[in-house]
């Protein structure tokens, strides 16, 4: 249902001939126009085509359209081609002519811009399609993983609850012959007590969905990559109820889970020589007579007791048991992702996920790999300090720690510090606090759910794996 084929490519032998699209930068504009038939060149000049970023000029021909010019400006990212699918006439088939750009990036950008969530519409939306050159499997994989994450985030909560998210996790693993399981009921309460506590207030029962996978070239001692995702399918805030404006987009509170599933898909599609373990906490944070209350004290898988200072700080409770289990398996790399704090958005805005990692050799190596990957593939993240001086703010008079800070500052940092309490020392671990949403449509980034950091994380996993293998 969610891991769907990309429908932005034209079928082989399509009846409609492909429309040649020439991507042009301003400093090459004169040469590009000189290569056109004189009438088309004159039309482009008269129409004011200047090769500005995203500027599209349709070129006339004797039988209608003969081609198009796309301005790139100085944009070297995939998003330079991100608006093409929507700007071209509906039903058109585009053929990208070689030019001063990376074709992999162009294919990826076209696919990201062609995305549409129309599962609940009476008639599907129609966009232009791409006559893709042969190959570019990495771009196709990144696009499909992004579509998967976006679909999961965009699906309304009444259509995607804990059971449906668990099913999606299990189905993704099964499509790559992974071994999966779903834990719920009494076993969930015993093995993941904080996940159970968060989901107790909902009529839709919580669960943990997981799977393990091994690459075709990965032996039993291959590096273990472990992924954990916050899958809160809807967050009312619990008894510390959110205001209506704050609750409006809370179908996206499982954006961390969606990101980790997209990342898992890319790892498996690339057949990386690793062992992969994926854990998704699938819950809904609601209000009822069964819901956790402020100042309740919960036990955790790690054995630490946690006082509930705020029931709306539930995401860290969903993750802490998953991180404890995952880190005790001694992974070569442990990553988690969550729409965890508004404080991260205040600090960095919607486009930059906040990255946290311990200030240790292992943690610094992971953080630097992710940061470098984000810069190289136009998928940036920003590291914030996991500052130990604030750790004491998580103190509680009746438990080992509180789930919220005693201070009204540095909320993203203290949330990450809470998670660190449950990660085994020495683990190469990084935590991503993401918004998982585009507030407005831009080229390649339609309004709605977004897999921020996905390509950066995948590139980092691949790089770190090469390091682990001594390559």
Q: What is the pLDDT of residues 72-113, one digit of tens each?
A: 999 999 999 999 999 999 989 999 999 999 999 999 999 999
Residues counted in the chain: 471
State which of 135, 167, 194 marks the end of a domain: 135
Residue 150 CA to residue 144 CA, distance in Å, equals 10
**Cα dihedral sign, 371-374-376-378:** negative
User: Within a domain: residue 462?
Assistant: yes
Is residue 25 located within the same domain as residue 50? yes
User: Within a domain: residue 394?
Assistant: yes
Angle between helical axes of 255-269 and 162-175 (0-180°, round to 10): 10
Torsion angle of C-alpha atoms 101, 102, 106, 107, degrees rounded to 10:
150
User: Within a domain: residue 130?
Assistant: yes
Q: What is the pLDDT of residues 356-370, one digit of tens each?
A: 999 999 999 999 999
Question: Cβ(420)–Cβ(341) under 8 Å?
Answer: no
Q: Which residues of 210-247 are buried (b: 16+ CB within 10 A; e: fewer)?
A: bbbbbbeebeeebbbbbbbbbbbbbbbbbbbeeeeeee
User: What CATH number does the domain containing 127 carry?
Assistant: 3.40.220.10
How many other CB atoms sit within 10 Å of the CB of residue 330? 12
Question: Cβ(432)–Cβ(338) under 8 Å?
Answer: yes
Question: Strand 297-299 relative to strand 382-383: parallel, antiparallel, unpaired?
Answer: unpaired
Of 117-131, 239-253, 316-330, 370-384, give the lowest mean pLDDT range: 117-131
Would you list the DSSP string of 387-456? -GGGGGGG--SSSSEESS-SSSS-HHHHHHHHHHTTSPTT--EEEEE---EESS-BTTB-SEE--TTHHH
User: Within a domain: residue 215?
Assistant: yes
Is residue 366 located within the same domain as residue 437? yes
User: What CATH number does the domain containing 419 carry?
Assistant: 3.40.630.10
Is residue 191 located within the same domain as residue 59? no
Answer whether residue 470 shows pLDDT above 50.
no
Residue 384 CA to residue 406 CA, distance in Å, equals 20
- State which H helix or E strand residue 307 sits in: strand 305-307
User: Within a domain: residue 2?
Assistant: no
Is residue 343 located within the same domain as residue 444? yes
Residue 199 CA to residue 314 CA, distance in Å, equals 9
Average pLDDT over residues 46-62: 96
- The pair of three-digit structure tokens given for residue 3, joined into one six-digit string: 């891991």
Is residue 149 located within the same domain as residue 107? no
Question: Cβ(405)–Cβ(411) under 8 Å?
Answer: yes
- The pair of three-digit structure tokens given for residue 50, joined into one six-digit string: 């200047």
Q: What pLDDT shows up at residue 307?
A: 98
Is residue 67 located within the same domain as residue 187? no
User: Within a domain: residue 10?
Assistant: no
Q: pTM (2 decimals)?
A: 0.97
- The pair of three-digit structure tokens given for residue 434, joined into one six-digit string: 């993401």
State which of 86, 112, 135 marks the end of a domain: 135
User: Within a domain: residue 5?
Assistant: no
Angle between helical axes of 255-269 and 137-154 (0-180°, round to 10): 160
In the chain, pLDDT over 70 holds for what percent of residues? Answer: 98
Q: What pLDDT shows up at residue 302?
A: 98
Q: What pLDDT shows up at residue 465?
A: 73
Side-chain-side CA neighbours of residue 104 (13 Å): 9
Confidence of residue 467 (pLDDT cuts 50, 70, 90): low
Q: What is the pLDDT of residues 277-308, one digit of tens each?
A: 999 999 999 999 999 999 999 999 999 999 99
In the chain, pLDDT over 90 holds for what percent of residues? Answer: 93
Q: What pLDDT shows up at residue 64?
A: 86
Question: Cβ(354)–Cβ(344) under 8 Å?
Answer: yes
Q: Which residue shows structure tokens 């990965």?
A: 218
Average pLDDT over residues 436-440: 97
Is residue 359 located within the same domain as residue 457? yes
Cα–chain center distance at 294 = 31
Answer whether residue 196 shows pLDDT above 80.
yes
- State which H helix or E strand residue 69 sits in: strand 64-71
Is residue 131 located within the same domain as residue 155? no
Q: What is the pLDDT of residues 5-50, one digit of tens each?
A: 999 999 766 556 899 999 999 999 999 999 999 999 999 999 999 9
Q: What φ, ψ does residue 378 adopt, rounded to 5°?
A: 55, 45
Is residue 203 located within the same domain as residue 238? yes
Q: Which residues are catalytic?
A: 242, 316
Confidence of residue 230 (pLDDT cuts 50, 70, 90): very high
Residue 435 CA to residue 454 CA, distance in Å, equals 13
| Structural domain that includes position 303 | 141-468
Q: What is the pLDDT of residues 306-338, one digit of tens each?
A: 999 999 999 999 999 999 999 999 999 999 999
Average pLDDT over residues 373-400: 98
Q: What is the pLDDT of residues 443-454, one digit of tens each?
A: 999 999 999 999
Which residue from 293, 315, 301 is spatially nearest to 434, judged by alpha carbons? Answer: 315
Is residue 90 located within the same domain as residue 160? no
Is residue 325 located within the same domain as residue 437? yes
Q: What is the pLDDT of residues 259-281, one digit of tens each?
A: 999 999 999 999 999 999 999 99
State which of 120, 135, 150 marks the end of a domain: 135
Maximum Cα–Cα distance across the chain: 81
Answer whether residue 466 shows pLDDT above 90.
no
Which residue from 251, 225, 259, 53 is spatially nearest to 142, judged by alpha carbons? Answer: 259
Residue 213 CA to residue 192 CA, distance in Å, equals 22
Answer whether residue 206 shows pLDDT above 50.
yes
* 314: helix, strand or coil: coil
Confidence of residue 126 (pLDDT cuts 50, 70, 90): confident
Average pLDDT over residues 178-186: 98
Is residue 165 located within the same domain as residue 54? no
Average pLDDT along the chain: 96
- The pair of three-digit structure tokens given for residue 110, joined into one six-digit string: 């076209």
The total of structural domains in the chain comes to 2
Q: What pLDDT shows up at residue 127?
A: 86
């Amino acid at each position: 249902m969610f891991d769907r084929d990309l429908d932005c490519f034209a079928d082989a032998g399509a009846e409609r001939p492909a429309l040649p699209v020439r991507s042009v930068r301003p400093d090459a504009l004169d040469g590009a126009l000189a290569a056109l038939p004189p009438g088309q060149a004159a039309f482009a000049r008269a129409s004011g085509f200047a090769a500005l970023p995203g500027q599209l000029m349709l070129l006339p021909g004797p039988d209608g359209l003969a081609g198009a010019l796309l301005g790139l400006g100085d944009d070297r990212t995939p998003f330079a081609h991100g608006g093409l699918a929507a700007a071209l006439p509906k039903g058109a088939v585009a053929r990208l002519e070689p030019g001063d750009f990376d074709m992999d990036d162009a294919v990826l950008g076209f696919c990201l811009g062609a995305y549409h969530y129309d599962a609940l519409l009476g008639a599907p939306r129609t966009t232009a399609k791409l006559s893709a050159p042969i190959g570019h499997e990495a771009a196709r994989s990144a696009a499909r993983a992004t579509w998967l994450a976006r679909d999961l985030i965009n699906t309304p909560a009444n259509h995607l609850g804990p059971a449906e998210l668990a099913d999606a996790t299990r189905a993704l693993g099964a499509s790559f012959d992974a071994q999966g399981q779903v834990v719920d009921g009494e076993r969930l309460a015993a093995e993941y007590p904080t996940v159970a506590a968060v989901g107790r207030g909902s009529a839709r029962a919580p669960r943990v969905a997981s799977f393990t996978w091994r690459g075709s070239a990965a032996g039993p001692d291959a590096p273990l990559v472990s992924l954990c995702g916050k899958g809160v399918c809807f967050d009312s805030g619990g008894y510390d109820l959110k205001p209506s404006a704050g609750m409006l987009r809370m179908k996206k509170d499982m954006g961390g889970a969606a990101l980790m599933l997209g990342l898992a898909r890319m790892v498996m599609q690339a057949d990386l020589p690793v062992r992969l373990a994926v854990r998704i906490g699938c819950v809904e944070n609601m209000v009822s007579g069964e819901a956790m209350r402020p100042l309740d004290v919960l036990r955790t898988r790690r054995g630490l007791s946690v006082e509930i200072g705020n029931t709306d700080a539930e995401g860290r409770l969903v993750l802490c048991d998953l991180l404890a289990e995952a880190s005790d398996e001694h992974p070569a790399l442990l990553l988690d992702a969550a729409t965890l704090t508004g404080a991260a958005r205040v600090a960095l805005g919607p486009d930059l996920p906040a990255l946290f990692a311990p200030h240790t050799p292992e943690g610094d190596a992971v953080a630097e790999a992710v940061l470098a990957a984000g810069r190289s593939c136009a998928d940036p993240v920003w590291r914030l300090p996991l500052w130990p001086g604030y750790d004491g703010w998580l103190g509680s008079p009746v438990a080992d720690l509180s789930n919220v800070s005693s201070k009204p500052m540095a909320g993203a940092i203290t949330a990450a510090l809470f998670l660190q309490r449950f990660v085994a020392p020495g683990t190469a671990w990084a935590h991503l606090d993401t918004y998982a949403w585009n507030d407005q449509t831009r080229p390649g980034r339609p309004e709605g759910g977004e897999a921020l950091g996905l390509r950066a994380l995948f590139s980092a996993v691949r790089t770190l794996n090469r390091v682990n293998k001594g390559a």
